[in-house]
Structures are given as C-alpha cells and as structure tokens.
Amino acid sequence: MADQIANKIYADYPPALTPEQEDYLVQTVKNWTVEHALTVRPSAAIVPEETNPTGVLATSAPVTLFPSPFPKACFQQAKSLQQIYNELYANIASDEQWLEDVLKELIAVDDFLANLWKVHLAVKEEGYVQDLSLGMFRSDYMLHAPEDAPVSLRQVEFNTISSSFGGLAYKVTDMHTHLATFPSPKQPVAYPPHPLFSSSSEKSNINTIGRPPPNEAVPTLVAGLAAAHEAYGTSRSTPDLPTCILFLVQDAERNVFDQLALSTHLHKHHNIPSFRLPVSKILAYTSIPSKDSNPARPLVYTPPSSPSTQFEVTVVYFRAFYAPTDYETPSSWAARHHLERSAAIKCPTVLLQLSGSKKVQQVLTSRPPDTDHLKAFLTEHSEATLESLRSTFAPQYSLSASQLEATSEPEGIRLALDEKSAVNHVLKPQREGGGNNIYRDNIPPFLNSIPKDQWKQYILMELIHPPSAAKNTVLRSDGQVVSGNVISELGIFGTCLWRTVPGNTVPEILHNTEGGYLLRTKGKDSDEGGVAAGFSSLDSLILYEEV
C-alpha cells in the first residue's frame, strides 16, 4: 500500500535539526524570501496599523522549511489531466443553457449568483461584442489515502477565477532547490543529509531526483495572457490607441508580489504593458465610447497618474470580484456590467466564473442512470481518459431536487443529516476564497438552523483523507517556526483561450496549456486550506516512486 511508503518516508522526514541547524535554516529562509520577493504585505493582525501607517512593510510569505514528499505518479496524473480539464471548463462556459439549467434553482435563492446572472443577461440582451474568453485555471487536489487502498489523487475544486499563487509558488520551488543543493547537491549545508535529498541509487526502494521538479507557473500563466492579448488584435478605437492588459485587484490586496511576478514577466518577455486597477476605481478610470461614436465598445483605460495618456484594454484579468465582499459599493455591480459589455477579453467572463461553482463540480460527478454530463462535454475523448478524470472525483451530492439529477437528492440530504455519515463530509456553498465550508458534525445542526428551501445552495462532498504521517516545519508570516503533522494540497495551473461559435455550444479552442504547480501545506487539524486566508503555507514537492 502506498500509504505505507508515506509512513516509511515520514519516519525520518523532515530530518531532525540541532538548534544550530534550525537557526541557520530559518535565517537563510528569512533572507531568501525577502531577497527574492517571496513576500506578502503583512496583515494588521501581524503588524498593527499604528506600526505600519503608510503600508510600507512587506514580510516573508508563510513557507515550509522543507519540500513535501509527493508520489510521482499522482503528480503526473494531475498534470496529464489539466488540458482536458481546461477544455471541459471552456465547453461548460460556452453552454449557457446547460449552466442555466444547473444553476437556476440556486440563482433563485442566492443574491450573489443572481447578480452575476443578471449581468450576463443584460449583456446578452445588448449583444456581446467579444467572442473570445480566457481561462487561467488551477485544479486543486489532495492525496486520498484510506486505510485499505493505495494512495490516489482527488480533486478538491477547480478554480476559474483569480487562481492565485503561481507568482510565488515557483519561488518556493527555487528556494527549496537552493536549500537542497547549495553549495553542492552531494553536501548541502542548510539541510542535514537525508536520502530524499540525494540521488536515488543510495536509497533502498524509493526513487527520487532529490529536489523539486521545475515550476513553470509564471511563463505558463503569462503565455495565456499574451495569447489573449495577441488574439484581441489591433485597437478598435478611433484614432487607434496603444493596448494594454488590466489586472483588476482588490482594494486592500496583500498578495501583491504574486501578481507583480506575472505583470513583470508579461512586460519583460512579451513586451506587453499592464496596469493594476482596484475594483473601486473601475468606473473612474475606464470608459467605453457611446454606441453612436463607436459600437465596438473598446474599454479605454486612463492611468490616474498620467491623465493625458489612454490605453485600450485587450484583457481584463480578474484578481478580484470573486466574492460578495468585493461588491460592497453601490456601483460595484455596475462596474462588473461595464467590464462584461466591453470589447476586452474577460478572464473570466461571468459565465466562466459561474462554471467554477461547486454545484457544477458536483453535477459533473453524476453517472448513469443520471445523465453523464462529463461524457457529454468531452465527446472527443476516450473512455480511458474520462475514467482517469472520474478517478479524481470525490463522491458529491446535491441537496436539491433539480430535474438534472433527480435520483441523487434523497441520498445527499440523508448523508448530511445523519451524524454518522455527516462526519465524513464537507458542506460547500457557492463561494470562493476560503473560510466558507461547514465540516463534519457541524453539518446537521447547521442545516437544521436554516430554512429547508436554502439547502439547495450547498453541495455535500465526501472528505478526502490525506496520508496521516506527513510532517513538515513552517515559518509563519509572524516569524514563528511550527513543526507538526500536515496536509498538503496540490494545484496544477493551466490556461485556455477560446472563441464561442454562434449557434454552437462547442467553442473553438485557440490555446490550451498546462504548466506549473502550487503546493499548499497546512496543519493537520485545520480544515480550511487558503494561504491568503491565513491557514496554509507555500510549499514545493519532492517526487518519489517505489522501484
């Protein structure tokens, strides 16, 4: 059993450190992170506003001191599925009727979804002027290692908006590689000697390359933005304007350096300028000419620092607007509508954002005698490929009586309300960004505390059981060093650019790539997994296989 391999590996991993070794390692990590901008703006909980009134400070992002061992076959499977997942979600976002059928019951009771849907309907009524869509995706997985079965890969969720941390994750890979190989791979000084850091021949039956695999998250994500920028073509303004990409960000974003890693690469390697625009400033600094003057609806950006310069926006890359808290001003929804009706390529469109709902993920798990939606969306792929995708699905259940999945309703409700089964499940609303789920024995009392007609907003998902032996040490953003049992979540990045074809629900895919990964590692007793939300640290991985 593969979990036995994990037990064996973790029996002496990470290697024990003397106080002198730990001091050296922690000091090296503290310096490396700041030197290479593996950093975040500190939260007020760590540095109070009185101490940092001008917001000038940055601090190390939370990182693990060691890479986490990860089965090579599972990593390769996750990578091999990414382009198919990209295509799947491009297809879903292009099938408005299907999305409406899946989501309409939820839209009826969920204001946030209802507002998103309204934006789509309003733009559809007026007519979309942009048929290209860009997805910058991250598919998240955990290892599933039940007592009696080999370890396997299970999808936690598929992100279609604001898939973050590509710009920091590769730096953790570089840092762990440096620690494992400096001054020489044979004799690193920051890590004590350990078989996982050396060549595989020295170990009994476990094969590794002794360092994390390369992480191409930044070039992959940026190539997606660049492909969309190119596909937009020339300016639609009269007279022509220079073009740019707009990064739409939260007003109080702390994860700035992750985003800057992408914009800097975009300029350096593709010569494409980009600007950051906080959501509250959209209507102040962007405009669309009137219908009479220019029906093509170019999105024109005027940098506040240079009011005499104008740019035409080719791509709006959303690193905000995924959560209700991003829509707190009276004009927030008008701003979202304004962007959606523009000619800029949206990453994502409203329909693509909605495609990332947990509800869609749940519906995709349905099998005969219910409709096999996965197969219907991926008709060109072999049964073996579909099976590989399905093998990553955890059992998921509807808590509604939608006609699309008539037979699954009673089971979901029964499993959620019965304490014995609830303890093996998580209840998820249609929200992103962490901190929204309800776990285990909190599920029955929670459901009983809300009106029954609200239950359909949630989906029930079986808990994934990661290997229990995993351990690591974390340098937290507040400087504390904490060791213990951990759970890791692997994200694989991918991008996809497609054109919707009139009268056809199957889009024309122009660019579809996979590349780069994120490993987030959290304490074993923490249910949630977000780094920005304060639960996890950034990690990288050492692949191993049994030989």
Binding site for ligand ADP (CB under 6 A): 140, 156-157, 394, 426, 428, 432-434, 436-437, 461, 463-464, 489, 527-530
Q: Which is nearer to ligand ADP, 195 or 444 (CB)?
A: 444
For residue 457, the minimal CB distance to ligand ADP (Å) is 14
For residue 226, the minimal CB distance to ligand ADP (Å) is 27
Residue 520's closest CA among 498, 481, 492, 480?
492
Does 125 count as an annotated binding residue? no
Does 358 count as an annotated binding residue? yes
Cα 468 to Cα 150, 465, 473, 484, 486: the distances in Å are 13, 8, 15, 11, 8
Residue range at the interface with Mg ion (CB under 5 A); choices 36-44, 149-157, 372-380, 439-447:
149-157
Output the DSSP codes for 254-299: S-HHHHHHHHHHHHHHH---EEEEEGGGHHHHEE---TTT-TT--E
Residue 394: contacted member of ligand ADP, Mg ion, none (CB under 5 to 8 Å, by partner type) = ligand ADP
Q: In the chain, count of helices (H) and strands (E)?
A: 17, 22
For residue 156, the minimal CB distance to Mg ion (Å) is 6
Does 259 count as an annotated binding residue? yes
Strand-pairing partners, residue 426, are 439, 461
User: What span, in angstroms and rounded, lies between the C-alpha atoms of 70 and 209?
Assistant: 12
For residue 376, the minimal CB distance to ligand ADP (Å) is 24
Which residues have a Cβ under 8 Å from the Cβ of 170 and sit 6 or more positions away?
215, 216, 217, 218, 261, 516
Residue 289: contacted member of Mg ion, ligand ADP, none (CB under 5 to 8 Å, by partner type) = none
Does 327 count as an annotated binding residue? no
Q: Which is nearer to ligand ADP, 223 or 486 (CB)?
A: 486
Does 348 count as an annotated binding residue? no
Which residues have a Cβ under 8 Å from the Cβ of 424 and sit 6 or more positions away?
440, 462, 463
Q: Which is nearer to ligand ADP, 428 or 456 (CB)?
A: 428
Count the neighbouring beta carbons within 10 Å of the beta carbon of residue 191: 21
Q: Hey, what's the torsion of the CAs at 97, 98, 103, 104, to 10 degrees? A: 40
Residue 4: contacted member of ligand ADP, Mg ion, none (CB under 5 to 8 Å, by partner type) = none
For residue 523, the minimal CB distance to ligand ADP (Å) is 11
Residue range at the interface with Mg ion (CB under 5 A); choices 156-164, 231-239, 418-426, 451-459:
156-164
Residue 523: contacted member of ligand ADP, Mg ion, none (CB under 5 to 8 Å, by partner type) = none
Give me the residue whose beta carbon is nearest to ligand ADP.
529
Q: Which is nearer to Mg ion, 462 or 545 (CB)?
A: 462
Q: How far apart are the first and last CA of the chain?
A: 13
For residue 473, the minimal CB distance to ligand ADP (Å) is 19
Q: Which is nearer to ligand ADP, 316 or 464 (CB)?
A: 464
Which tokens sit at 338? 């304004």
Does 520 count as an annotated binding residue? yes
For residue 418, the minimal CB distance to Mg ion (Å) is 26
Q: Hey, what's the torsion of the CAs at 137, 143, 149, 150, to 10 degrees? A: 90
User: CA neighbours within 13 Å on the CB side: how many for 94?
Assistant: 26
For residue 291, the minimal CB distance to ligand ADP (Å) is 38
User: What span, in angstroms and rounded, lies between the C-alpha atoms of 512 and 220?
Assistant: 10
Does 475 count as an annotated binding residue? no
Does 463 count as an annotated binding residue? yes
Does residue 295 have a cis bond before it (omega within 30 degrees)?
no
Give me the residue whose beta carbon is nearest to Mg ion.
157
Q: For binding to Mg ion (CB under 5 A), which residues are involved?
A: 157
Task: Specify binding-site residues.
Answer: 259, 358, 428-437, 439, 461-464, 489, 520, 522, 528
Task: Specify binding-site residues for substrate.
Answer: 259, 520
Task: Specify binding-site residues for ATP.
Answer: 358, 428-437, 439, 461-464, 489, 522, 528
